[in-house]
Amino acid sequence: MAKYFSKEKWKYLFYTISHPMDGYYWIRHAERGSVPIAILMVVLFSIGFTVNRLLSSFVVNDIDPRGVDSLYELIGVLVFYLLLCVSNWSVTCLMNGEGRMKDIAIAIGYGMTPIGVMFYVATLVSQFIADEEQAFYGILLGVGIAYGVIMILIGIMQVHNYTLGKTLITLFLTFIAMLIIIFIVLLISNMLGMVMTFFRSVYTEIIFRT
């Protein structure tokens, strides 16, 4: 455990956020990232998302608290994360990507950190703003999200040793791969359900005949 959460790994997270190009390079080549920290950051992001929706001030918050379910959102974000990693990995495997599953997980997880942090910061700031100052709140969130997206982009670019154009293409393909995966999962679950019903009806038939 200590190996994953050592002080160096934590420090390196902050180094990656401030120097994404360099940081991601050494994650790929010198094992300086940590998957558990990346997952922790995704969880942090998810909690931040919920916190922002529930606790930001009435001035900026138009969300019905009855529609917010933190556990559901956590599961949703984690599943999305897993899906993104798997589909990116499967696409980049075919496109000469150098990154391993581990590197992709770290690239995306670390990239989500600024977004997550900004959710908390914006929530805090929202408690002190009134009407016209709403723009600050929007800028805070916008900057966080933009930085996070850029980080994820750079991360994927660096761990696979791609050019920017190729990264964008792979990201588009990743999106399609995600849809395909979702489709197949739905198909399989549907099929399994049918098989289950078949066996269940066979069972009831036997029960009734004997």
Partner 1 sequence: MKKFFQWKKVVSLSLASLMLALGAGETVQASSLPYDTYNYDYREYIHYTPAAYAPSGSIKGESLTYNGESLGKFTTPQDLCEDAEGNVYVADTGNNRIVVLSPDMKKVKNVITTFDNNGQEDSFNQPYGVCVSERGRLYVADSQNRRVVILEKDGTFVGTVQDPVSESLEDGYVFTPLKVTVDYADRVYVIAQNMFEGIMVFENSGKFSSFIGTINVEISVWEKFWKRIATKEERSKQQLYIPTEFTGIDIDPDGFVYATNIDATGVQGVRRLNPKGEDVIKKGENENVGGDLQIDGSTDYAGPSQFTDVVYRENGIYTCLDRRRGRLFTYDYEGNLLYVFGGLGTQKGTFHMPVAVEDLGDKIVVLDATRAEIMTFSVTEYGRLINEAVALRYDGDESEAVSLWQRVLELDENNELANTGIGKAYLTAGEYKLALKYLELGMNRDYYSIAFRRYRNELLIDNASYFLTGILVLVVAYQVFKRVKGKKKGKKEEGGLLNG
Query: Which stretch, 123-131, 168-176, 186-194, 196-204, contacts partner 1 (CB under 8 A)?
Result: 123-131
CB of 48 to partner 1, least distance (A): 23
Place of tokens 């556990």: 71
Residues 6+ apart with CB under 8 A from 76: 46
C-alpha of 119 from chain center: 15
Residue in 1, 2, 30, 130 binding partner 1, rule: CB under 8 A: 130
CB atoms within 10 A of CB 189: 10
Place of tokens 């999305």: 80
Residue in 59, 82, 83, 153 binding partner 1, rule: CB under 8 A: 59
Residue in 58, 163, 209, 210 binding partner 1, rule: CB under 8 A: 58
Q: Does 54 bind partner 1 (CB under 8 A)?
A: no
Q: Does 135 bind partner 1 (CB under 8 A)?
A: no
Query: Which stretch, 1-9, 12-20, 52-60, 148-156, contacts partner 1 (CB under 8 A)?
Result: 52-60
Return the number of the residue (128 or 199) whose C-beta is nearest partner 1. 128
Integer CA distances (angstroms), 9 to 31, 134, 195, in order: 10, 36, 47
Return the number of the residue (62 or 71) whose C-beta is nearest partner 1. 62
CB of 56 to partner 1, least distance (A): 13
Return the number of the residue (30 or 130) whose C-beta is nearest partner 1. 130
CB of 47 to partner 1, least distance (A): 24
Residues 6+ apart with CB under 8 A from 132: none
| Whether the Cβ atoms of residue 89 and residue 181 lie closer than 8 Å to each other | no
CA pair distance 66, 2, nearest whole angstrom: 40
Q: Does 69 bind partner 1 (CB under 8 A)?
A: no
Q: Does 128 bind partner 1 (CB under 8 A)?
A: yes
Q: Does 62 bind partner 1 (CB under 8 A)?
A: yes
CA pair distance 56, 51, nearest whole angstrom: 7
CB atoms within 10 A of CB 163: 9
CA pair distance 55, 60, nearest whole angstrom: 10
Which residues here bind partner 1, judged by CB under 8 A? 57-59, 62, 64, 128, 130-131
